[in-house]
């Protein structure tokens, strides 16, 4: 076949060549493949949302060691699940994972459902993740459309426009559907096919400097033929990122415990444990007065500001540290406020910059 597959002739050109490439050059030993159970597949797909493989691997291994099966996850305390997720980001993934596990216990006999609609109904599972789970765990014939597939398809077909824009995404879904394995040789290999797309995108059809000479589609790729691999996929529309600022109070008592506050259940770092915050130094002073005896109120010291970048804003954290406090009785220990010893930090979900601040300044 001389031309790339189209919506009309998708046939088996794409799958057959991709699988041949995968057999020789694909990744066959990522941690969630051995063993490749539905639970491990699901967990890996959630962790891999917007997160690169190398980042996920240590978190995945720690998570499945602590919670090796779905029923174990379902009965685990939310704080412990968040602790296992701590540092990985997008914490709603962990909360949704936990809620979905409970749902599987209540409605699906303790297993992940082998059904597209039922999977899609679980929190944290969208169309692409549902397809990835069905294809990889059970060999079901469903397409995926992640960042890798979007990149491969926009280049192979020369598709302009930001791939996340609804109109472009709709077209890409149609192409992904049309490219699915359809012959007796490829149809039984849905798990490999799904993995192969992601491997091609991650190792050959990379965002910068793609290795086109190693690509099985270098002869048919529109972007390659027109020298547009650096332009496709179209980058996201530029936006001005606002800068925000906050102050955090790092209060330690005479035993070296730190006062932590639970964050609100919505917004950034929802439900995680963090340092008490204030908008200005007056607010910090008021927090100190609330948690320390007036008779022993030292001034404390400013630590170097921390710059933390999110997708949609930048945050400057100005930490204020004060040691040797004798906590005021009854103020500091409830569901939203706790004095925590350094050894107990590991059991709590704590925002990455806050954990880093504390670790780097604790002897």
Partner DNA sequence: AACCCGGGGAT
Partner DNA sequence: ATCCCAGGGTT
| Active site residue ranges | 45
Residue 303's Cβ-count burial label (10 Å; 0-12, 13-18, 19+) is middle
Binding status of residue 239 toward DNA by CB under 7 A: yes
Tell which residue, 94, 96, 93, 91, has the closest CA to residue 264: 91
Rounded distance between C-alpha atoms, residue 22 and residue 199, angstroms: 8
- Considering only 39, 157, 250, 269, the residue that binds DNA (CB under 7 A) is 269
- Of 252, 247, 277, 265, the C-alpha closest to 340 is 252
| Residue 310 within binding range of DNA, rule CB under 7 A | yes
Q: Of 16, 74, 88, 249, which lies in the binding site for DNA, with binding defined by CB under 7 A?
A: 88
Residue of 30, 103, 306, 344 interacting with DNA (CB under 7 A): 30
Looking at the Cβ atoms of 154 and 332, the one nearer to DNA is: 154
**By C-alpha distance, which of 237, 232, 236, 238 is closest to 160?**
232
Choices 11-19, 44-52, 184-192, 323-331 (CB under 7 A): range interacting with DNA: 44-52
Region near DNA per CB under 7 A, out of 145-153, 218-226, 249-257, 335-343: 145-153
Among 25, 36, 102, 127, binds DNA (CB under 7 A): 127
Pair 132, 215: CB distance under 8 Å: no
Residue 116 interacts with DNA (CB under 7 A): yes or no: no
User: Is 228 among the residues that bind DNA (CB under 7 A)?
Assistant: no
> CA 157 to CA 221: how far, in whole Å?
7
User: Cβ distance 140 to 190 under 8 Å?
Assistant: yes
- CA dist., res. 232 & res. 110, Å (int): 43
Two structure tokens written together for 6? 């189209």
CB closer to DNA, 268 vs 344? 268
Tokens describing residue 100: 């979905």
Q: Do 17 and 216 touch, CB atoms closer than 8 A?
A: yes
How many whole angstroms separate alpha carbon 64 and alpha carbon 70?
Answer: 10
Q: Is the Cβ–Cβ distance between 47 and 60 less than 8 Å?
A: yes
> Is the torsion defined by CA of 197, 200, 206, 210 positive or negative?
negative
- Taking the complex as a whole, how short is the minimal distance between the CB of residue 15 and DNA, in angstroms? 18
Interface size with DNA, residues (CB under 7 A): 65
Select from 16, 43, 97, 146 the one that contacts DNA (CB under 7 A).
Answer: 146
The smaller minimum CB distance to DNA, of residues 186 and 274, is found at 274
Applying CB under 7 A, does 49 fall inside the site for DNA?
yes
Minimum distance of DNA from residue 97's CB (angstroms): 11
DSSP string, 21-37: HHHHHS----GGGTT--
CA 356 remoteness from chain centre: 19
For the bound state, the minimum distance from the C-beta of residue 31 to DNA, rounded and expressed in Å, comes to 9
* 61 touches DNA by CB under 7 A: no
Closer of 43 and 322 to DNA (Cβ): 43
Is residue 132 within 8 Å of residue 45, measured between CB atoms? yes
Q: Which of 3, 6, 9, 50 binds DNA (CB under 7 A)?
A: 50
54 binds DNA (CB under 7 A): yes
Task: Go through the chain and tell me how many residues it has.
Answer: 363
Q: Is 206 helix (H, G, I), strand (E, B) or coil?
A: coil
Distance (Å, rounded) from C-alpha 163 to C-alpha 185? 31
Q: Among 75, 106, 165, 341, which residue sits at the site for DNA (rule: CB under 7 A)? A: 165
Mark the segment that binds DNA (CB under 7 A) among 6-14, 17-25, 45-53, 69-77: 45-53
Of the candidate residues 103, 105, 178, 270, the single one contacting DNA (CB under 7 A):
270
Among positions 36, 187, 207, 338, the unique one binding DNA when judged by CB under 7 A: 207
Site for DNA in 244-263 (CB under 7 A): none
> Which chain residues interact with DNA by CB under 7 A?
27, 30, 44-45, 48-55, 87-92, 96, 122-130, 132, 146-148, 150-151, 164-167, 195, 198-199, 201-202, 206-209, 233, 235-236, 238-239, 266-270, 308-312, 351-353
């Amino acid at each position: 076949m001389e031309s790339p597959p189209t919506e009309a002739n998708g046939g088996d050109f794409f799958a057959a060549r991709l699988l041949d490439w995968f057999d020789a050059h694909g990744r066959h030993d990522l941690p969630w493949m051995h063993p490749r159970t539905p639970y491990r597949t699901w967990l890996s797909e959630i962790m891999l949302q917007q997160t690169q493989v190398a980042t996920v691997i240590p978190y995945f291994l720690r998570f499945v060691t602590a919670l090796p099966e779905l029923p174990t996850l379902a009965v685990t305390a939310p704080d412990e699940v968040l602790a296992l997720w701590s540092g990985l980001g997008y914490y709603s993934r962990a909360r949704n994972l936990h809620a979905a596990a409970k749902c599987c216990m209540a409605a699906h006999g303790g297993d992940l459902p082998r059904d597209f609609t039922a999977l899609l109904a679980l929190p944290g599972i969208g169309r692409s993740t549902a397809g990835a789970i069905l294809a990889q765990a059970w060999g079901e014939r469903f397409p995926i459309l992640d960042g890798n597939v979007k990149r491969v398809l926009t280049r192979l077909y020369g598709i302009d426009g930001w791939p996340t824009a609804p109109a472009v995404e709709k077209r890409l879904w149609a192409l992904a559907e049309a490219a699915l394995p359809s012959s007796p040789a490829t149809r039984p290999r849905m798990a490999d096919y799904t993995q192969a797309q992601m491997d091609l995108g991650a190792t050959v059809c990379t965002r910068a400097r793609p290795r086109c000479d190693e690509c099985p589609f270098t002869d048919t790729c529109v972007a390659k033929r027109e020298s547009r691999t650096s332009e496709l996929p179209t980058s996201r529309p530029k936006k001005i990122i606002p800068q925000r600022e906050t102050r955090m109070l790092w209060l330690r008592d005479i035993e070296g415990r730190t006062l932590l506050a639970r964050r609100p259940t919505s917004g950034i770092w929802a439900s995680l444990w963090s340092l008490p915050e204030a908008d200005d130094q007056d607010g910090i002073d008021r927090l100190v007065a609330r948690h320390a005896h007036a008779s022993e109120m030292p001034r404390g010291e400013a630590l170097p500001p921390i710059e933390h970048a999110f997708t949609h804003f930048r945050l400057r954290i100005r930490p204020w540290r004060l040691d040797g406090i004798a906590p005021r009785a009854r103020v500091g220990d409830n569901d939203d406020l706790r004095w925590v010893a350094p050894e107990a930090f590991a059991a709590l979900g704590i925002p990455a910059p806050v954990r880093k601040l504390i670790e780097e300044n604790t002897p």
